[in-house]
Structures are given as C-alpha cells and as structure tokens.
C-alpha cells in the first residue's frame, strides 16, 4: 500500500527541533506542493537549496524521513521555476518514489490541519503551535487541539466465489470499489459496517472480520478494512445519492478497480488470487 516505503523509514514521532540546512522543507501554495527538479526526476527540496532565505521562524517540525527531519514552511517566497515545480497532491498517488509520495501526502494532511486551526473554535482567539507535542493551543482560553483523524470502515463483501463491487457517484475515476463510510458517533466499527452496507446497497452481511487498517491522508481518514459475507440472492438496492451501480463479480471477470496502493485495491487483489482466508 502507499505507506509501505521500505527500506525507507518514516517516523512521525514529534520532536522539538530547529530546522538545519540538510532538512527537507514542504512548502505548499494553493494546495500544491513544491518539488525540486533533478534532471527528469523530482525530489523534496532541502533548506540548503534556498541560500540566504530565513524561514526558521515560520517552520514547523512535521516528521522525519530516514535520517532527515521534515518541516512545514509557512512563509511566502519567490520560486525559481527553472529549479522548482508545484504538483497537485493527487499526483503522488502514482509517483514512482514512494517515500517522497508518502511524506508529501502526510505533509499535506498536516498542512491542512494547521491552516484550518489558526483560530480557536471555542473562543475565536488566535492559536499557536505547541513546542513539546504535535498540538495547537489557544492563546486565550488555552484549549488544546490535536490532529483530527476520522475512522472509516471499508468492507469486502463476498458470496462464495463472488465479490460485491460498487461504482460510487463521487469517485474520481470510473472504477468499482468496496462499500465504505465513516463511523458515526456512538457506533462500533462493526455496527458501521452493517449500517453502511445496508444504506448503500441494501443487503445484510454476516461473519464480519477485521483485515487491517490504512492511514489515508488524502481525506484525513483511518481506513479500517473488513471482510464480510452475504447471500447474493438478496436484491441490491442502491443509494442513488452515493452509488451509481453495484453488482456481484467473479474472479477473472473483475471490472476496473483501485490499485493496491489503497487497502481496497489490496483486498480486491487478494480476492482475485483466492487469498482472503475464507
């Protein structure tokens, strides 16, 4: 999956550190990330790539990649377009350097969190970043704000040698994937599986079992994957607001579906290879 970047090492432990010339900088403009041109390749720029630029006062430690720290830079400065380029975050879904792709999209998630919390949601006063943890605090009422991660279930529904796939109304591409949705307040993840499947495709599931989870920074989510079983004779009744169409598919005859950078793609691939453990 997209977060599997071995042998590179991603470490999200927060440290109180000042930026140095070897550190990576993540600079966003209008939702796009600046990258350094390296021949026909692209890399995350380092602080040393901007001699004479003073950004230490407005840089925030994010995480580390291998032995280098990564900082979010909030200053606005001129970019030499012969040396640097801006890319949309969705560009990194297929970028060949998986370690660069991963820190770029996680950095985007944190950038959005910082930019959405410049003011306190409780009293409206300005906030400031804490130095001893990844958190924001209100300068007035001292409310502490932590990054928001939304739990969402995603479920592979099987019936013997068939799998239920749906084409979402809001999918960026015309592929089929699993039923998925956010867990609601006061709801267990298993209850969310039952509810989302019933709401989106109108069927009942059983034998719900956990597969694995995946952080998904594109939407600020934690995707929690499940397998479940259903009787394919149940009528499929789609939620027209969410789903364009849904159907049962057999191995060897699957429609266009997500790549295995996502948990859905990985699970579909396991089904195709008959490795779901049923």
- Express each pLDDT in 133-161 by its tens digit: 999 999 999 999 999 999 999 999 999 99
Report residue 2 as tokens.
Answer: 């997209």
Across 115-134, average pLDDT = 95
Task: Say if 5 falls within a structural domain.
Answer: no
187 pLDDT tier (thresholds 50, 70, 90):
very high
Sort 128 into a burial class: Cβ within 10 Å, 0-12 / 13-18 / 19+.
exposed
50 pLDDT tier (thresholds 50, 70, 90):
confident
Specify which residues 166 forms β-bridges with: 177, 246
d(CA 258, CA 255): 10
- In sequence order, which ranges of 35-187 are alpha helices (DSSP H)? 98-116
Task: Say if 85 falls within a structural domain.
Answer: yes
Task: Say if 127 falls within a structural domain.
Answer: no
| CATH code, 177 | 3.90.79.10
Q: pLDDT per residue over 51-84, tens digit each?
A: 877 766 678 999 999 989 999 998 777 788 889 9
Query: Quick one: what percent of the chain has pLDDT higher than 90?
Result: 81
Q: Which residue is it, tokens 């019933």?
A: 198
Question: Do 96 and 175 share a domain, yes or no?
Answer: no
Q: Strands 68-73 and 59-65, how do they pair?
A: antiparallel
Is the Cβ–Cβ distance between 26 and 107 less than 8 Å? yes
Identify the CA nearest to 27 among candidates 13, 9, 47: 47
Task: Say if 24 falls within a structural domain.
Answer: yes
Sort 103 into a burial class: Cβ within 10 Å, 0-12 / 13-18 / 19+.
buried
Report residue 225 as tokens.
Answer: 């994957």
Is the Cβ–Cβ distance between 111 and 104 less than 8 Å? no
Question: Do 159 and 251 share a domain, yes or no?
Answer: yes
d(CA 255, CA 159): 17
Domain membership of residue 14 as a residue range: 10-116
Across 209-225, average pLDDT = 96
Task: Say if 154 falls within a structural domain.
Answer: yes
- Residue 258: the pLDDT is 87
Report residue 237 as tokens.
Answer: 């009744």
40 pLDDT tier (thresholds 50, 70, 90):
confident
| CATH code, 86 | 3.90.79
- Range with the poorest average pLDDT among 24-33, 120-129, 163-172, 259-268: 163-172
Task: Say if 129 falls within a structural domain.
Answer: no
- In sequence order, which ranges of 33-184 are alpha helices (DSSP H)? 98-116
Query: What is the domain count for the chain?
Result: 2
Question: Do 154 and 106 share a domain, yes or no?
Answer: no
- Whether the bond between 7 and the residue before it is cis, its omega within 30 degrees of 0, is yes
239-259 b/e (C-beta count within 10 Å ≥ 16 → b): beebbeebbbbeeeeeeebbe
Task: Say if 220 falls within a structural domain.
Answer: yes
d(CA 171, CA 174): 7
Identify the CA nearest to 86 among candidates 46, 132, 145, 27: 27
What are the φ and ψ backbone dihedral angles of 221, each rounded to 5 degrees? -110, 160
Is the Cβ–Cβ distance between 47 and 23 less than 8 Å? yes
Question: Do 162 and 223 share a domain, yes or no?
Answer: yes
């Amino acid at each position: 999956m997209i977060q599997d970047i071995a042998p590179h090492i991603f470490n999200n432990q927060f440290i109180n550190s000042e930026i140095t010339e070897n550190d990576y900088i993540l600079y966003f403009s209008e939702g796009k990330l600046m990258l350094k041109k390296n021949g026909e390749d692209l890399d995350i720029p380092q602080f040393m790539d901007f001699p004479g630029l003073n950004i230490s006062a407005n840089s925030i430690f994010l995480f580390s990649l291998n032995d280098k720290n990564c900082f979010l830079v909030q200053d606005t400065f001129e970019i030499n377009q012969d040396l640097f380029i801006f890319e949309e975050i969705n560009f990194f879904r297929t970028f060949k350097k998986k370690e660069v792709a991963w820190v770029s999209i996680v950095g985007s998630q944190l950038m959005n969190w910082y930019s959405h919390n410049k003011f306190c949601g409780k009293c409206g006063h300005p906030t400031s970043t804490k130095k001893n943890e990844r958190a924001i605090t209100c300068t007035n009422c001292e409310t502490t704000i932590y990054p928001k991660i939304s739990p969402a279930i995603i479920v592979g529904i099987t019936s013997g040698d068939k799998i239920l796939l749906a084409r979402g109304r809001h999918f960026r591409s015309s592929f089929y994937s699993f039923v998925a949705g956010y867990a609601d307040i006061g709801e267990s993840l298993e209850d969310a599986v039952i509810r989302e499947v019933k709401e989106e495709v109108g069927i009942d599931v059983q034998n719900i079992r956990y597969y694995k989870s995946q952080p998904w920074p594109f939407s600020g989510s934690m995707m929690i994957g499940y397998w479940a079983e259903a009787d394919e004779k149940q009528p499929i009744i789609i939620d027209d607001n969410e789903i364009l169409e849904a159907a049962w598919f057999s191995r060897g005859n699957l429609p266009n579906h997500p790549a295995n950078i996502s948990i859905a793609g990985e699970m579909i691939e396991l089904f195709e290879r008959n490795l779901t453990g049923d």
